[in-house]
Structure 1
Amino acid sequence: MSLVVFESVKHIHCAECRRGPIRHVVREAGVPRCLDCADLGHLVYLPRGDAALTRRAREASSLSAVVVRLHKRRRYERRGLLVEDAALARAERACLADAEARARRRERDRLRRAAEDTRFTAAFAAEIRRLFPGCPADRAQAIAAHASLRGSGRVGRTAAGRALDEQAVSMAVRAAVRHLDTEYDALLMAGIPRFAARTRLAPRIDAILGGWRTGTAAAEPETGPGRA
């Protein structure tokens, strides 16, 4: 069980030595005490943020305490750790010693993710070309790259998109046509509601997509609303 020290946001004074205000508070028998009076004054503060350093410092320190602060949602969040100075120094040396190895591992992971992204983007573009054989190859590649960008939250990164679901791929193509081949963005900037703009442009978008599906040039539709 870890010792817990509270990070105070109020002006609190130690109940024993009357010193204050104190930032780190130890509560004993319901009263606040400073670190010195709680026999923790020799410990140094290590803010959270470096998981490896925190783990090693805790393991090397014979005495440690978790520092928490009361969040506005009435729950405590972890702020850092109090550890022995010598333990922190040993942990820092250990982290420096394997920093190069960790950097190489991060680079390997980066290259692996980049290769995975390249393969997935190519597969997404190939699926676009299968569903829309009239879509130019460079356009399919650009749509796939945009839709599948890692961390973007776009349709290509959803579960359906990752599975190359036909509807998800079609949504990505439709969105690209909407933004790049029509005045949709200009309509939004002019204050036209999104769904009204989509309805207005749906026939043109359907014509372009229809031409891409059949491999023929898109023609303006005769009549009828569609889905933009």
Structure 2
Amino acid sequence: MSRKNRVPLADRVARAAEAALVAQHFVSAIDVLTGIGWLDPGAAERWRRGQIDCLEEVVQIDAPRISKAIRLFGSWATAKELLPSPTAYVGRTPDRPTLRFSRSGNPAIENSYRTHWVSPELSEKKRARLAETASRPPELVVIQPLNTAWICHRCGGSGDLLMMETPGPACLRCVGLDDLTYLPAGDALLTRRAKSKSSRHAVVVRFSRTRGRYERQGLLVEPQALADAPQAT
């Protein structure tokens, strides 16, 4: 594409932001960076899992252009009279670390990433519900490996289930989830009851070579929660 035919960055940001706003009634910096093609969703997911130190490491453009896009997004949101909603971003790991967006860690930059912009057309109740959902910690994900000959990078052990970390796979004992009980998928009501009663849980997935994606196999829940679930009303 010739230089004169390139779409201005401001227009690309506006289009990506508008599409996200229409789809979900709010829009974030991550939505914009993904929408303009600078951030791969898979890389963003690895960041959420704690496998990447900061989000900007995987944004496929230089720092000045990232900063410009974020500024343009903020200006667009203000012009549209959207309502700012500070949002918590924590990792998809048992220790729930606060995720870092920028290389610098500058509080103002971090805040610009964490701010979701919400449609003013929503009622106060719906805006509160959106904010609560967005700030909810993501579910922990445990993998049922296809190859059972794997080794925990922390202790050298193994097992039927693992959690991926930056250096490699880790066993459930090392990540502090070995006290949980496995509940296979199949009984939706039992799963829902056990999950609601368990203060900690993790989704168990297994890679499907046929479909080329990870699929849910069940849930890890606290033993007492599973024991109490059948009696729930």
Fold conserved between structures, TM > 0.5 = no
- What is the TM-score when the length of structure 2 is the normalising length? 0.39
- What is the TM-score when the length of structure 1 is the normalising length? 0.40
Q: If you compute each CA radius of gyration, which structure gives the higher value, 1 or 2?
A: 1
The structure showing larger relative contact order (alpha-carbon pairs under 8 Å, at least 6 residues apart) is 2
